[in-house]
Structure 1
């Protein structure tokens, strides 16, 4: 694609190059003022530690994965992104800012009960709103993307940390216990999509598995949960 079809932003010493067609005014403003994934990156810096292996679900432009790679090394970070319109820019952002060892998996994460090989992704006006399920809205753009089961991703990458910004799919994934090897979960909840009672039930479920609420930004619905020493 020609350069004029991309816009470049600088956050946390990272250079993010993003397709102009995948931006709207609100997202563009958050990228310009440094507010994009600000709390998620704060949690990464506060709670990630050397030796962790990170599985970043819903990478978007790649900022969380890049910040994580600086702490644990790019070889210990795997990012999963469903939006095919972001893959070229995301791969470039990861390589430019974190090196070639950071792995990108193309597809949408699903629960173990999902039986199909693909899942329908709803592409919206800005890349941070692409979602599996939910109302299609006006002029929907629906694409089929590979379905990636969470348990297989965790096992294949031997993950100890989950970072999740998956636009509501967490309501399904977090309803079931996570493997004991997961010690840290960093997540943006989306109660606007499934309601506050569901969000509260997800939090209670994590706490029932021994996770402790390490920090929450309720205005942004960004949480960190940790368990073990």
Structure 2
């Protein structure tokens, strides 16, 4: 390479052996550092690597940037992932993550899983679209678009998908949603709790829902707010 020739920079960040496309609004600051150091969603990733089996069907609630669904597909070689992500601004980026890693067995659904059937709900896309949410009052001046997001009843989805494993990070909605579902078909569940929002009663509701489904807290794959439940361990 000549001294005057610019070295071409990779368009990807390597993370746990995955290729994560660089993005000016997503792979910045702490996110970029965590990705490069293999610390992005570390607790959830460690739990997944411990309890998910090759050939599993996984239901993911909270698709994020597509990192977990890619890890499941590439590293755990699951049969299928059905991933719910409410933020429409993230869906195109998730597609680039999947494409970069040759992922073809993930079905992204830009919708919300709900306790029961309901009308579409408002979702507020913000300039920093990682801060987008259904909460209009959180920084209303930053909202650039409000869109309608469909709600899918949890009973219908579980009957259709028949997941072996649940991976759930839905920013506090776990306290209302999980008790509404029949999770007896699961072998394992990995759930990020948000006690700062759901309180003791919400945490108890999640544990009760898992116990009702025959799943027991599994400490070896749990850390802090990320809790794992398994059958037959």
- Match among 106, 115, 120 for residue 118 of structure 2: 115
Structure 1 pair 180–98 and aligned structure 2 pair: CA distance change class (3 A): farther
> How far did 1:194 drift?
2.0
The CA RMSD measured in Å over matched residues stands at 2.6
Q: Taking structure 1 as reference, are residues 100 and 50 closer, same or farther at Cα in structure 2, changes over 3 Å only?
A: closer
Distance in 2 separating the partners of 1:126 and 1:203: 34
Give the TM-score of the pair, scaled to structure 1. Answer: 0.81
Q: Which residue of structure 2 lines up, in the alignment, with residue 200 of structure 1?
A: 204
Gaps of 5+ in 1: 1-6
1:152-163 equivalence runs, <5 A: 152-163=156-167
After the TM superposition, which residues 42-81 of structure 1 pair with which residues of structure 2 at under 5 Å, given as runs?
42-70=46-74, 73=77, 75-81=79-85
Greater Rg over alpha carbons, structure: 2
The answer (yes or no) to whether the contact 2:172–2:193 under 8 Å persists in 1 is: yes
Structure 2: where are the runs of 5+ without partners?
A: 1-10
Residue of structure 2 in register with 1:3 after alignment: none
Give the length in aligned residue pairs.
219
What SS does structure 2 have at the residue aligned with 1:10?
Answer: strand
Deviates more, 1:200-209 or 1:21-30: 21-30
Match of 2:138 in 1: 136
Name the stretch that deviates more: 136-145 or 41-50: 136-145
| 1:179-200, Cα deviation, whole Å (9 max, x unpaired) | 3212211111111222233213
CA distance in 1, matches of 2:181, 2:34: 34
The counterpart of 2:191, out of the listed 176, 187, 191, is 187
8 Å contact kept, 1:131–1:167? no
Change over 3 Å in CA distance of 1:8–1:66 after alignment to 2 = same
* 1:98 CA drift (Å): 4.2
Supply the distance in 2 between the matched residues of 1:125 and 1:227 (Cα, whole angstroms).
43
- Provide the residue aligned with 2:87 in structure 1: 83
Q: Does 1:105 align with 2:117?
A: no
CA distance in 1, matches of 2:161, 2:181: 18
- How far has the Cα of 1:105 moved from its partner? 1.5
1:175–1:226: structure 2 CA closer, same or farther, 3 Å change rule? same
Q: Partner of 2:21 in structure 1?
A: 17
Shift of 1:228: 4.2
**Cα deviation 1:154-207 (Å, max 9, x = unaligned):** 222221211111111111111235232122111111112222332133223322
TM-score using structure 2 length: 0.80
